[in-house]
Amino acid sequence: MICENHTQVTEFILHGFTNKPEMQHSLFVLFLVIYTVTLLGNFLIVTVTIVDPALQTPMYFFLRNLSLLEICFTLVMVPKMLVDLVSPRKSISFVGCGTQMYFFFFFGSSECFLLSMMAYDRFVAICNPLRYSVIMNRSLCLWMAVGSWLSGVPVSMLQTAWLMAHPFCGPSTIDHFFCDGPPVLKLVTEDTTIYEMQALASTLLFIMFPFSLILVSYTRIIKTILMMPSATGRQKAFSTCSSHLIVVSLFYGTASLTYLRPKSKQSPESKKLVSLSYTVITPMLNPIIYSLRNNEVKGAVKRTFTRKVLQKLGVL
């Protein structure tokens, strides 16, 4: 439907999860706990990978960047979501919606490429261990991290600027808990076929291209591991990749269900649940996965806390 007289929309209303007050209060407490655990877990990973001498390797350099990304990613959506759960009016300004959408696309795309850089790091470590320190030198790691962060700029600028330039007229209620592309697109009052084609192409490029790099890296990694004569060596090699594989599966699995699944098979409720998993749940699980499955990280956490306790006691 095209409006005859376009009225400039100044704000949107976020529908959220439910209109029942008792449910909103329960969800507020739940998401506040999850958000607190997310921040503490990721800040802990950042801290131990900075201060612990044993974690000054490319693998933990990229892990630190992943934790920073997760902190930024959740900051874009979760605080606003928490405020809306206890506010009678769940509104967001037009500029605020565009800003939230921009940073959502930015950090999401950056994470896709950072995960592929982490896969390449594991590929070099397992398939070319003797030259690992030479190939994965400090300069290359820095450029790979910077490139991953900046990779989100083109898609976020293009998607957001193009979408928000479309005409909007009432109703202005977004059936979601944040300003994601597809639910905002439903409020556009003109044909969006060209934009949807571009959005699909961008999604395939910024989700499937990094995923293809990960797939190629792990194909080579698995082939190399299976050729190892020692069972202990194979187990150790698999253990260094398992955490990253779990994180990749969680992130790409939920993102693919959201953006690559046919629209006819998506209900607003199911889309909210899937979006919740990769915007709120996955960032909380990542530091837990790396901490529980990585003895070096667990050892670094223990050493860091022990050092802090001894310093307070005046022993150090």
- At 214-231, the pLDDT tens digits run 999 999 999 998 888 888
Mean per-residue pLDDT, 193-201: 83
3-state secondary structure the chain: CCCCCCCCCCEEEECCCCCCHHHHHHHHHHHHHHHHHHHHHHHHHHHHHHHCHHHCCHHHHHHHHHHHHHHHHHHHHHHHHHHHHCCCCCEEEHHHHHHHHHHHHHHHHHHHHHHHHHHHHHHHHHHCHHHHHHHCCHHHHHHHHHHHHHCHHHHHHHHHHHHHCCCECCCCEECCCCCCHHHHHCCECCCCHHHHHHHHHHHHHHHHHHHHHHHHHHHHHHHHHHCCCCHHHHHHHHHHHHHHHHHHHHHHHHHHHHHCCCHHHCCHHHHHHHHHHHHHHHHHHHHHHHHHCCHHHHHHHHHHHHHHHHHHCCCC
- Predicted confidence band of residue 100 (pLDDT cuts 50, 70, 90): very high
> Quick one: pLDDT at residue 309?
56
pLDDT, the chain, mean? 84
> Residue 253 pLDDT > 90, yes or no?
no
Q: Among 4-18, 120-134, 136-150, where is mean pLDDT lowest?
A: 4-18
Residue 102 reports pLDDT greater than 60: yes
In the chain the domains, ranked by start, together with CATH numbers, are 11-313 (1.20.1070.10)
pLDDT at 1: 47
Which residue, among 253, 159, 160, 164, has the nearest Cα to 197 in the 3D structure?
Answer: 159
- Long-range Cβ contacts of 30-33 (<8 Å, 24+ apart): 31/78, 31/81, 31/82, 31/85, 31/280, 32/82
What is the pTM for the complete model shown? 0.88
- The predicted structure's pLDDT at residue 240: 79
- Round to whole Å and give the CA distance between 258 and 272: 9
Percent of the chain topping pLDDT 90: 32
> Can you name the residues that pair with 93 across neighbouring β-strands?
11
